[in-house]
A and B are shown apart, each in its own frame.
Chain A
Amino acid sequence: QKEVEQDPGPLSVPEGAIVSLNCTYSNSAFQYFMWYRQYSRKGPELLMYTYSSGNKEDGRFTAQVDKSSKYISLFIRDSQPSDSATYLCAMSRPYNTDKLIFGTGTRLQVFP
């Protein structure tokens, strides 16, 4: 069993839709949770960062962590064609942040 599971998609939605992207994990020691966005032919770039449980909002993006269920989510409101990319979740244990474990990524396509 992989430590981090992520549905590869692709997920295709119309412009303006609310998008929900999710990851599950098996290691209860994970405390740092990140979402990276990767455009085609580019390297990943950090989108959101949360520590432990709870929600974090940044513009149209909300990251949510449910440690009891070992489940993290990224919500995108009012999705735009420019949001079309692959979204990677990543997580690490405390005192071991040099070892990030990545999900396989979910490919999102937002069509006009």
Chain B
Amino acid sequence: EAQVTQNPRYLITVTGKKLTVTCSQNMNHEYMSWYRQDPGLGLRQIYYSMNVEVTDKGDVPEGYKVSRKEKRNFPLILESPSPNQTSLYFCATRDSNTGELFFGEGSRLTVL
């Protein structure tokens, strides 16, 4: 089954404590992306990656890092989380033939 898997699904942490949200896909898609979803603001792109070792900033990259060392994984790193990073995060891959985005089930992060 085609899947985008995110972990953890739920996390409560404190300001300044580094955390990583993992994303793994089994569809062999080259393109992967991270979004955050906030009420009234919708889905906003944080970072995206066109292929291994190729990453670029989206619309709201401040406070986040990513890496793409292998095709299937695209972790999102919060080096020093702050309360304004409390949000629902989605990882997505894209089918290069159709342009369709495939989303994970989301990771709800709360930073106290």
- Which A residues lie at the B interface, using CB under 8 A? 4, 6, 8, 32, 36, 41-46, 49, 88, 90, 97-100, 102-105
For chain B, the count of residues having a C-beta within 8 Å of the partner chain is 24
**Cα(A99)–Cα(B35), bound, Å:** 11
Per the bound structure, the CA–CA distance linking A102 and B43 in Å amounts to 6
**In the complex, A32→B98 CA distance in Å?**
12
Chain A residues near B90 (CB-CB < 8 A): 43-44
Question: Within the assembled complex, what's the spacing in Å between the Cα atoms of A11 and B93?
Answer: 30
Question: C-beta contact mask, B7-45 vs A, less than 8 Å → 1, else 0?
Answer: 000000000000000000000000101000000111111
* Beta-carbon contact of B100 and A46 below 8 Å: yes
Selected contact of B100 from candidates A4, A49, A88, CB within 8 Å: A49
B99 touches A102 (CB 8 A): no
B90 to chain A, nearest CB (A): 5
The DSSP consensus for interface residues of chain B is strand
Contact residues in B for A98 (Cβ distance below 8 Å): 31, 33, 48, 50, 94
Residues in B neighbouring A42, C-beta threshold 8 A: 105-106
Whether the pair A100, B105 counts as a contact (CB closer than 8 A) is: no
| Residue in B closest to A4 when the chains form the complex, CB atoms | B42
Whether B100 contacts A41 by the Cβ 8 Å rule is no
B residues lining the A interface (CB < 8 Å): 4, 31, 33, 40-45, 48, 50, 58, 90, 92, 94, 98-106
Bound-state CA distance A72–B13 (Å) is 40
A108 to chain B, nearest CB (A): 16
Contact A44 B103 (CB under 8 A): yes
Q: How far is the CB of B42 from chain A (nearest CB, A)?
A: 4
Which chain A residues lie closer than 8 Å to B104 at the CB level? 43
| Cα-based distance from A104 to B105 in the complex (angstroms) | 18
User: Would you give 28 A-B contacts (Cβ < 8 Å), ordered by A?
Assistant: A4-B42, A8-B40, A36-B101, A41-B106, A42-B105, A42-B106, A43-B4, A43-B103, A43-B104, A43-B106, A44-B101, A44-B103, A45-B102, A49-B98, A49-B99, A88-B42, A90-B43, A98-B33, A98-B48, A98-B50, A99-B45, A99-B58, A100-B45, A100-B101, A102-B43, A103-B42, A104-B41, A105-B42
